[in-house]
Amino acid sequence: MNNKFIPIISVFMTISLIVFVTLQFYWLKGYYEALEQDFSNKVHAALESSVKKINDQEVEKYYARYKNFDQEAIANADQPTLTLIQTVEDSASKRQITTYKNIIEKQSIPISPQGDSLNLTKMYTDEALITIKKNQNTPELLTAEQNSQIESGEFNFREFAQLNVKDLPIDQRVDQNSIDSLVSRELKMKGIDTKFGYGIIDSKDQLTTVASSIYKDEKNADSYSFPLYLDSNDQIQYSLALVFPRKGYSLAKNNLPMLLGTFLSLLTILGIYIISINYMMKQKKIAEVKTDFINNMSHEFKTPLATISVATDSLANDKISNNPEKVKYYSHLIKQENLRMKKQIENVLNMSKLERNEVQLFLKETNLRNLIREITESFSLIVAQRDGTITQEFTADRYIVKVDEFHISNALINLLDNANKYSPEVPEISVKTKSDNHWYIIEISDKGIGLDSDNKKKIFEKFFREETGNIHNVKGQGLGLSYVKKIVELHKGQILVESHKGKGSTFTLKLPMTS
């Protein structure tokens, strides 16, 4: 993919994701509002039913004192307060008579010394239907059935009650335990099973003494209310209010599958987006790094090839070919540059093998002290060309370690080479060894340019090279430290770096000791 298209694709993907997430949250907001509305409807229905039952209980409480009212009304059936007779002639020979007899009695029951009362209105209705033959001259005999209908005294009973209460304290009118059980039962019947608090509010929107502890703690939260008691003018005296401290949790719990599915889908899409963007950015970075790598490799090969070309031309010169010392010098130069190119190629091939896990270690017990001393003394000749020094400090009391000599040697040479290359002034390199429990520790330190803190983890990435202002001022392909890390890990060891910009770096290799 062309690197130019990656930012464009990323922008379009980001815009699409933002639109999708916005729509998802908008849908979730509407869905939650619908759940809240449904919850509110159920609560109000439960409140209405609870208030009706509370009122019925209060009326029954006061009415229980007057049990003989029905019998007194039946006893006065012969003296109706209202009688209605309706005659319908439906043919020439018959007519139908309908009679209505109503007994209406009103009674006021005092329930407090302050004048509060329970007003009762009771109505008894007797209805009869008689069909008789129409004969103007001869009266029709009154049958036993007709007489029974007229004289039966059987009444249909209807009762109406209205409380006229102004001064009776609210705590004497309701029972808190009864309210709690009634409301709880009604809510469960509506499908609401969550913790709630109740309280009774007066006409001035003040909380009365009748309130649960939950309502007192949550009185500032959103509440649901319904008129509980009305006065004689149908004005609200008291209201029953409910609060639900865990309403949000209850709504989410009852709709968990839907919400969980939505959030998982959203997280999956976000995850895919992040992985895709990260992958494209990595591919872009890899493409850039590979381009730099090819440029560096071209430079690395160009220099020795140019040197070999010059040396070859020089050897062809008669004056030089007849001078054994010159021939020896240019032959050595050609061999040195050839080895340099071979080393570069081997680094690339070794990294390729490491990436494919094709490297096999030939482990054997090795005297690491002697191996490190030989490598250090050999490399000191290179450092001496820049008037630099390498100091050695071997304090490890155990130094027999099972390693692959070839790869460990290459790893140490890479670290020493980096310490030399990244020391812009006279190199000052130190090599220390010590043992710590079951670890053999090697420390290679320099006083070079150091690393930025952000690059400490990146330096072990393949092809990574820290920016130094000129891509070719420090030779290399960015493979050395990646190779070192992989070799150390294959030995089941660890590699650590401590570095400060402008003060130098210390690389620590920890290799497991032989048991």
CATH number at residue 383: 3.30.565.10
Determine the angle formed by the axes of helices 480-490 and 405-421, rounding to 10 degrees. Answer: 150
SS3 call for 466: coil
Query: CA angle at residue 308 from 305 to 311, to 5 degrees?
Result: 150
pLDDT confidence tier of residue 81, bands split at 50, 70 and 90: low
User: Do 225 and 322 share a domain, yes or no?
Assistant: no
SS3 call for 212: coil
- Region 447-463: mean pLDDT is 77
Distance CA(114)–CA(205), nearest Å, equals 24
Range with the lowest mean pLDDT among 129-138, 191-200, 444-453? 129-138
Helix (H) or strand (E) holding 410: helix 405-421
pLDDT tops 90 at residue 511: yes
Please report whether residue 85 resides in a domain: no
pLDDT tops 80 at residue 344: no
Tens-place pLDDT, residues 405-425:
888 888 898 899 888 888 888
Name residues whose C-beta falls within 8 Å of residue 372's C-beta, 6 or more positions apart in sequence: 392, 394, 412, 431, 433, 442
Distance CA(237)–CA(215), nearest Å, equals 20
Distance CA(289)–CA(463), nearest Å, equals 6
Count how many residues are written for the chain.
515
pLDDT confidence tier of residue 469, bands split at 50, 70 and 90: very low
User: Do 440 and 488 share a domain, yes or no?
Assistant: yes
pLDDT tops 50 at residue 95: yes
Distance CA(42)–CA(48), nearest Å, equals 10
Q: Are 156 and 127 in contact (CB under 8 A)?
A: yes
User: 479 or 213, which is more confident?
Assistant: 213
Please report whether residue 499 resides in a domain: yes
Q: What is the number of domains present in the chain?
A: 3
pLDDT confidence tier of residue 509, bands split at 50, 70 and 90: very high
Place of tokens 């930025």: 452
User: 434 or 130, which is more confident?
Assistant: 434
Structural domain including 424 reads 359-512
From residue 176, alpha-carbon distances to 179, 209, 274, 358, 473 in Å are 5, 10, 56, 81, 88
Q: Are 444 and 506 in contact (CB under 8 A)?
A: yes
Domain end: 207, 228, 244, which one?
244
User: Do 45 and 176 share a domain, yes or no?
Assistant: yes
